């Protein structure tokens, strides 16, 4: 996937003069910047500042020199005096032709408040800068994958409709996407919270990672969550979230909105109230349809999506365990099972296919590539996936992507089974006649 330093996303902690100047400089260089300030509003205190020509040059390159000059004073001369005797040592005429020719930028005297205001206004108007107040950073952790900031406060769901850590490819930021057609994010809801009901034309699902005591209501049906469950939210279905447990609930959020947006078919609507009314029994879709090949004879298909609202981990684990260790499986993906629509036997949604993979200890997958883009989440175990010569080591709850036509190979490096959940745009590729696959060596 294409990427560059210009698409790098940066975080700046602190909204003083230095923080605002750093954010503005990065944004003017083409970086996307998020600045967080612990105070509830931006402000500056302190005395005046003397800005030498090099400081004026920096302000000019930041595009704020003219704004600073409106309230600053340009002194006629700079006088150096002995601090003890008061005797003048030397002076510099700040308005002379020689001074202007040598330094080219003015010597200014301004107040900290005025300088801060000019930088703040420039950041507020810049499209690549996002400013947040009232958030205290307690610590920062950095490794090869990036930087994680830890906050004293959490963003409430009254401030944000959804609280999501977006897993965005640096080369796919507009709109944010994980692979060309699909998006992945990690969403969290805290005990006692509810999330606003809404709907969108994008198909979506939740794969639950941690927690208990929460449910999402989908078109009037409360669908309960437990780790390993797959919950469907087909396009244009109303959905909201409620958490009555005692610990955070975390899930992998997946949508096809990069594809929908590319087709210019993206629509969104908020429900008039925060939560929609309950009109169906809890987990009705799962209880009616998760019985192997037995389906309710009094019902008929209603649209292209699976009627199963919740594929429970209990059923998924039972299916994986029922397959004998002597089963051949796939030399590429191990023992791999697909979540299916009981009406059609096909994918759960017309744009997204979901699978679960069991890689036995010692599994060394064959190399392959195909035109479908795939996102993986590690349910348990540890291992590595080679993607176009890059080794991605993974363990529980890690998420990684294999873009379309990238060669890849899975390896189980642990002593136990490794289990991977995956979703892809394979249904789209097949329906358009564009799916193809072949053996391929991803390199060492």
* CA neighbor of 269 nearest in space, from 236, 231, 303: 236
Is 183 contained in some domain? yes
Counting the structural domains of the chain, the total is 3
Residue 327 lies in a domain: yes
Q: 228 or 130: whose pLDDT is higher? A: 228
Structural domain contains residue 23: yes
Residue written as tokens 């850590």?
Answer: 165
Is 230 a domain residue? Answer: yes
Q: What is the mean pLDDT of residues 225-244?
A: 95
Q: Is 149 exposed, middle or buried (0-12, 13-18, 19+ CB in 10 A)?
A: middle
Share the mean pLDDT of the chain.
Answer: 88
DSSP per-residue string spanning 263-296: TT---EEE-SSSSPPP-S-TTHHHHHH-STT---
Token pair recorded at residue 326? 């002597």
* More confident call, 415 vs 191: 415
Measured CA to CA, the distance from residue 46 to residue 442 in angstroms comes to 59
Structural domain for 35, as ranges:
5-133
Strands 249-255 and 183-189: antiparallel
Query: Per-residue pLDDT for 7 more than 60?
Result: no
Can you give the pLDDT at residue 395? 94
Whichever domain contains 420, its CATH number is 2.60.120.10
Instruction: Give the 3-state secondary structure of residue 14.
Output: coil
Residues 326-356: pLDDT tens digits? 788 999 999 999 999 988 889 999 999 999 9
Q: Are 282 and 336 members of one domain? A: no
Q: Do 119 and 194 belong together in one domain?
A: no
Summarize pLDDT for 287-321 with one digit per residue, the tens. Answer: 888 766 677 888 888 888 888 999 999 999 998 88
187 and 111 in one domain? no
The single-letter DSSP state of residue 308 is -
Secondary structure element (H or E) that encloses residue 198, with its range: strand 194-200
Handedness of CA 177, 180, 182, 186 (dihedral sign): negative
Query: In this structure, are 164 and 278 located in the same domain?
Result: yes
Percentage of the chain surpassing pLDDT 70?
A: 94
For residue 100, being part of any structural domain is answered with yes
For residues 354 and 402, give the distance between their C-alpha atoms in angstroms, rounded to a whole number: 14
Residue 126 CB burial class (10 angstroms; 0-12, 13-18, ≥19): middle
Are 168 and 279 in the same domain? yes
Residue 164 included in any domain: yes
In the structure, what pLDDT confidence band is assigned to residue 172 with cuts at 50, 70 and 90?
A: confident
Dihedral, CA atoms, 9, 182, 226, 399, nearest 10 degrees? -50
Which residues, other chains included, contact 308 with Cβ-Cβ below 8 Å and sequence gap of 6+? Answer: 232, 285, 286, 289, 290, 341, 342, 348
Block residue for tokens 């006649």: 433
* pLDDT number for residue 111: 93
**332 and 265 in one domain?**
no
The answer, yes or no, to whether residue 162 has pLDDT greater than 80, is no
129 and 160 share one domain: no
Residue 118 in domain? yes
**Mean pLDDT of all residues in 380-399:** 95
Query: Is there a single domain that holds both residue 427 and residue 353?
Result: yes
226, pLDDT greater than 70: yes
What is the pLDDT, as a whole number, of residue 2? 32
């Amino acid at each position: 996937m294409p990427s560059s330093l210009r698409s790098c996303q940066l975080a700046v902690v602190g909204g003083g003069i230095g923080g605002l100047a750093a954010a503005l400089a990065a944004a003017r260089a083409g970086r996307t910047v998020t600045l967080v300030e612990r105070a509830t509003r931006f402000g500056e205190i302190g005395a005046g500042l003397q800005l030498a020509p090099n400081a004026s040059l920096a302000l000019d390159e930041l595009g704020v020199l003219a704004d600073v000059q409106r309230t600053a004073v340009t002194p006629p001369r700079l006088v150096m005096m002995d601090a003890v005797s008061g005797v003048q040592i030397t002076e510099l005429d700040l308005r002379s032709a020689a001074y202007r020719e040598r330094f080219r930028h003015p010597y200014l005297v301004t107040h900290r408040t005025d300088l801060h205001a000019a930088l703040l206004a420039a950041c507020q108007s810049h499209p690549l800068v996002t400013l947040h107040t009232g958030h205290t950073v307690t610590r920062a952790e950095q490794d090869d994958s990036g930087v994680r900031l830890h906050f004293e406060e959490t963003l409430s769901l009254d401030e944000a409709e959804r609280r999501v850590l977006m897993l965005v490819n640096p080369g796919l930021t507009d709109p944010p996407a994980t692979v060309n057609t699909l998006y992945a994010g990690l969403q969290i809801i805290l005990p006692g919270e509810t999330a606003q009901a809404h709907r969108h034309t994008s198909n979506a699902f939740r794969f639950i990672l941690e927690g208990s005591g929460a449910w999402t209501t989908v078109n009037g049906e409360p669908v309960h969550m437990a780790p390993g469950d797959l919950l469907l939210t087909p396009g244009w279905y109303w959905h909201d979230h409620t958490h009555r447990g005692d610990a955070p609930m975390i899930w992998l959020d997946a949508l096809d909105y990069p594809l929908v947006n590319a087709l210019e078919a993206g629509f969104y609507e908020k429900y008039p109230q925060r939560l929609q009314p309950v009109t169906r029994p809890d987990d009705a879709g799962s209880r009616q349809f998760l019985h192997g090949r037995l389906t309710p004879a009094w019902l008929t298909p209603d649209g292209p999506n699976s009627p199963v609202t919740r594929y429970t981990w209990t059923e998924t684990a039972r299916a994986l365990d029922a397959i004998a260790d002597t089963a051949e499986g796939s030399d590429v993906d191990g023992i791999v099972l697909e979540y299916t629509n009981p009406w059609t036997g096909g994918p759960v949604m017309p744009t997204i296919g979901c699978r679960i993979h069991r890689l036995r200890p010692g599994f060394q997958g064959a190399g392959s590539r195909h035109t479908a883009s795939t996102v993986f989440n590690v349910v348990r175990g540890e291992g590595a996936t080679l993607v176009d010569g890059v080794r991605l080591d993974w363990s529980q709850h890690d998420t990684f992507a294999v873009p379309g036509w990238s060669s890849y190979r899975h390896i189980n490096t642990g002593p136990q089974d490794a289990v991977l959940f995956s979703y892809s745009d394979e249904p789209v590729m097949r329906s358009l006649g564009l799916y193809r696959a072949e053996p391929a060596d991803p390199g060492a």
